């Protein structure tokens, strides 16, 4: 059995359940499908789910990350090549489209493909036909394409950076995965799942759970790296707490966090910039204002644009914060 076939999809938020329902529906159709979402939202897992729920489930599920290969290599990987088609091509080699025959082909990060490759992919979708690189025979394949990207494909198509005709064909149905911060109900179930698995890997007797403050930290964080980031943070927390039977209370979101981090911690902590006032003459008022704006923005982001939490975080009242946001016209970043 394929590793991904056994991987459970954890989540109980309404938006996630809606996605799963959509996945089971689209899986039945013999049409291309696009899976879109921020990094780490589970696009690859969802693509596998689509394949294994489809009538093609017992045929090959072939994957290719388009961003991992240079254009010419990508072309031979996808379409194969004949013997002698280029130096070093001593034997005929089947491409992923042929290997995926009767099954599904997962094209990851397909926004980066060249026009030439896109044109060939379009032809396979439209006519089920391709030629190997260096070959003249037309080969027929029957492959369902599942594409994934974290880019805005319609915008790229409008700018002429992605073929609009291919996009039309690929986008028979589009599944957009919500970021983790929009489905907070999923955070703790996912965290427990990863913690239990990690405990098993480390041969721990049992997983003692998370303390209340640890749970609050997990729930309040913005998770820019989504489920993958959550998995790493939780696994690190389990590993760090190795040896105590207490619930986990220590959560470290940034493994690079260190006073000795090269390049300084200015980015991670704008307040750090205060230790390094400019040595040249400068406009004090401007400087302080910019600093205030930077600190406000960082705090807002950290508190996921929740103004009440941001005010608390900055040790000011809600009205004081509102005053600052109006002063610097930062109110358009507020939550609706």
Ligand X SMILES: Nc1ncnc2c1ncn2[C@@H]1O[C@H](COP(=O)(O)OP(=O)(O)OP(=O)(O)O)[C@@H](O)[C@H]1O
Checking phi first, is residue 168 left (phi over 0); if not, alpha (psi -120 to 50) or beta? alpha
Binding residues among 170-209 for ligand X as defined by CB under 6 A: 190
- Classified as helix, coil or strand, 90 is coil
Of 32, 40, 80, 270, the one binding ligand X (CB under 6 A) is 40
Per DSSP (E only), the strands in the chain are: 33-36, 61-65, 104-108, 129-130, 139-140, 144-149, 173-176
CB 121 within 8 A of CB 81: no
Candidates 42-50, 89-97, 204-212, 288-296; binding stretch for ligand X (CB under 6 A) = 42-50
CA dist., res. 286 & res. 56, Å (int): 63
Question: Which residue in this structure is represented by tokens 């780490």?
Answer: 40
Q: Which residue, 141 or 199, has its beta carbon nearer to ligand X? A: 199
Q: Which residue is nearest to ligand X (CB)?
A: 42
# chain residues binding ligand X, by CB under 6 A:
17
For 277-316, letters b (16+ CB in 10 Å) and e give eeeeeeeeeeeeeeeebebbebbbeebebebeebbebbee
For 30-44, letters b (16+ CB in 10 Å) and e give eebbbbbbbebbbbb
Pick what 147 binds: ligand X, Mg ion, none; C-beta below 5 to 8 Å, kind-dependent: none
Q: Which residue, 224 or 264, has its beta carbon nearer to ligand X? A: 224
Candidates 9-17, 68-76, 111-119, 211-219; binding stretch for ligand X (CB under 6 A) = 9-17
Q: Binding mask 232-271 vs ligand X (x if CB under 6 A, - otherwise)? A: ----------------------------------------
Q: What contacts 87, CB < 8 A, 6 or more positions away?
A: none
CB 41 within 8 A of CB 227: yes
CB 30 within 8 A of CB 144: yes
Q: Which residue, 32 or 270, has its beta carbon nearer to Mg ion? A: 32
- Classified as helix, coil or strand, 175 is strand
Report if residue 229 touches Mg ion, rule: CB under 5 A: no
Pick what 150 binds: Mg ion, ligand X, none; C-beta below 5 to 8 Å, kind-dependent: ligand X
Of 13, 17, 22, 44, the one binding ligand X (CB under 6 A) is 44
Q: Which residue, 149 or 241, has its beta carbon nearer to ligand X? A: 149
Report if residue 231 touches ligand X, rule: CB under 6 A: yes
Binding residues among 123-162 for ligand X as defined by CB under 6 A: 150
Candidates 44-52, 186-194, 258-266, 314-322; binding stretch for Mg ion (CB under 5 A) = 44-52
Report if residue 44 touches Mg ion, rule: CB under 5 A: yes
Report if residue 41 touches ligand X, rule: CB under 6 A: yes
For ligand X, the binding residues (CB under 6 A) are: 7, 9-11, 37, 39-45, 150, 190, 227-228, 231
For Mg ion, the binding residues (CB under 5 A) are: 44
């Amino acid at each position: 059995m394929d590793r991904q076939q056994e991987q459970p999809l954890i989540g109980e938020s309404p938006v996630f359940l809606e996605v799963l329902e959509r996945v089971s529906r689209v899986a039945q159709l013999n049409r291309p499908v696009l899976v879109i979402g921020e990094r780490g939202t589970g696009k690859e897992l969802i693509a596998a789910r689509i394949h294994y729920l489809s009538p093609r489930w017992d045929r090959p599920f072939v994957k290719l990350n388009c961003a991992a290969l240079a254009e010419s290599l990508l072309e031979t990987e996808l379409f194969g090549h004949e013997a002698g088609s280029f130096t070093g091509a001593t034997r005929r080699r089947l491409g992923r489209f042929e290997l995926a025959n009767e099954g599904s082909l997962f094209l990851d990060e397909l926004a980066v493909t060249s026009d030439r490759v896109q044109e060939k992919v379009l032809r396979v979708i439209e006519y089920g036909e391709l030629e190997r690189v260096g070959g003249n025979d037309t080969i027929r394949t029957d492959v369902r394409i599942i594409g994934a990207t974290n880019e805005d494909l319609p915008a790229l198509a409008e700018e002429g950076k992605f073929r609009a005709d291919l996009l039309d064909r690929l986008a028979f149905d589009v599944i957009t995965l919500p970021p983790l911060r929009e489905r907070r109900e999923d955070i703790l179930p996912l965290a427990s799942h990863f913690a239990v698995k990690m405990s098993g890997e480390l041969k721990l007797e049992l997983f003692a759970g998370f303390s209340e403050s640890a749970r609050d930290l997990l729930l309040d964080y913005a998770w820019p790296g989504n489920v993958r980031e959550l998995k790493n943070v939780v696994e690190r927390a389990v590993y760090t707490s190795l040896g105590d039977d207490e619930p986990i209370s220590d959560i470290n979101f940034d493994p690079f966090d260190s006073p000795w981090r090269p390049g300084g911690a200015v980015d991670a902590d704008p307040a750090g910039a205060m230790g390094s006032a400019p040595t040249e003459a400068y406009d004090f008022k401007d400087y302080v204002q910019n600093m205030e704006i930077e600190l406000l923005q960082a705090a807002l982001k950290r508190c996921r644009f929740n103004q009440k939490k941001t005010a608390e975080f900055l040790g000011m009242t809600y009205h004081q914060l509102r005053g600052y946001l109006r002063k610097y016209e930062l109110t358009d970043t507020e939550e609706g």
